[in-house]
């Protein structure tokens, strides 16, 4: 079993592995390095605009398993351009990162346990356009949400509120969680006390 890692640059060109999955989040480069990840949930950068610029700067991924970190509830994104760029660069899928539950607040109890309806429809749209999915959730037990898609997501990325104190870094390796009771492999950010700034993978 390979690893899942969030990266702000195409490190897969340094040591490609068919077993590893890379979540490409060039938008993190627009945020202050070392600041807590919670800043990524604030409207301080054009998350999807930075993604498009990042895609324009890289070569095709040449077989690496790459997913794009996308803010699915962006009302201004040019979605066809994003999908075309991902296909052109050879990406295998998309991730709802940051998830809508961290961007929006709700007074409805338990609302954070479910995918935002706009987020859900956008992910379905990407799937209909031939891209695979990985599901980010703030609820460890939300893997059942994978059943909302015609094709089950490849993995779930568990992002609890406590993980938002992890520092922003160019490379963040995720930790595989065991005994989740889910058919999906579940990965999570490391505990803030264990997180470290990685410069190589």
Domain assignment present for 200: no
**Angle at CA of residue 147, ends 142 and 148, nearest 5°:** 95
Q: What pLDDT, on a 0 to 100 scale, did the predictor assign at position 146?
A: 67
Q: What pLDDT, on a 0 to 100 scale, did the predictor assign at position 16?
A: 60
Q: What pLDDT, on a 0 to 100 scale, did the predictor assign at position 139?
A: 78
Q: What pLDDT, on a 0 to 100 scale, did the predictor assign at position 2?
A: 84
Domain assignment present for 171: yes
Query: Tokens representing 116?
Result: 């935002």
Domain assignment present for 199: no
Domain assignment present for 148: yes
pTM: 0.87
Domain assignment present for 196: no
Domain count, the chain: 1
Q: What is the CATH number of the domain that holds 27?
A: 3.20.20.70
Walk across the sheet containing 156-158 and list its strands.
171-173, 4-7, 21-24, 65-70, 93-96, 132-137, 156-158, 186-188, 175-177
Rounded Cα–Cα distance for residues 58 and 20 (Å): 19
| Partners of residue 136 on adjacent β-strands | 157
Domain assignment present for 142: yes
Q: What pLDDT, on a 0 to 100 scale, did the predictor assign at position 62?
A: 83
Tens digits of pLDDT across the chain (201 residues): 689 999 999 988 776 677 899 999 999 999 988 888 888 877 888 999 999 999 999 999 988 999 999 999 999 999 999 999 999 999 999 999 998 877 654 434 444 445 688 999 999 999 999 999 999 988 766 656 667 788 889 999 988 878 888 899 999 999 998 866 677 889 998 876 544 555 454
Domain assignment present for 201: no
Helix %, strand %, coil % of the chain (to 5): 35, 20, 50
Domain assignment present for 193: no
Strands 93-96 and 65-70: parallel
Range of the domain at 92: 4-188
């Amino acid at each position: 079993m390979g690893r899942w890692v969030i990266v702000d640059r195409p490190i897969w060109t340094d040591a490609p592995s068919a077993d590893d999955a890379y979540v490409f989040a060039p938008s993190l480069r627009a945020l202050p390095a070392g600041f807590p990840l919670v800043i990524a949930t604030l409207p301080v950068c054009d998350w999807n605009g930075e993604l498009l610029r990042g895609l324009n700067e890289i070569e095709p991924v040449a077989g690496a398993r790459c997913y794009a970190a996308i803010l699915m509830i962006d009302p201004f994104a040019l979605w066809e351009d994003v999908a075309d760029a991902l296909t052109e660069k050879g990406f295998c899928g998309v991730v709802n990162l940051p998830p809508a539950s961290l961007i929006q607040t709700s007074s409805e109890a338990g609302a954070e346990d479910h995918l935002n309806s706009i987020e859900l429809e956008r992910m379905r749209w990407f799937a209909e356009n031939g891209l695979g999915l990985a599901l980010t959730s703030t609820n460890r037990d939300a893997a059942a949400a994978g059943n909302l898609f015609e094709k089950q997501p490849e993995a779930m990325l568990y992002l609890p509120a406590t993980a938002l104190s992890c520092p922003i870094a160019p490379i963040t390796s995720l930790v595989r969680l065991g005994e989740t009771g889910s058919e999906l492999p579940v990965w999570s950010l490391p505990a803030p006390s264990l997180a470290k700034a990685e410069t190589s993978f």
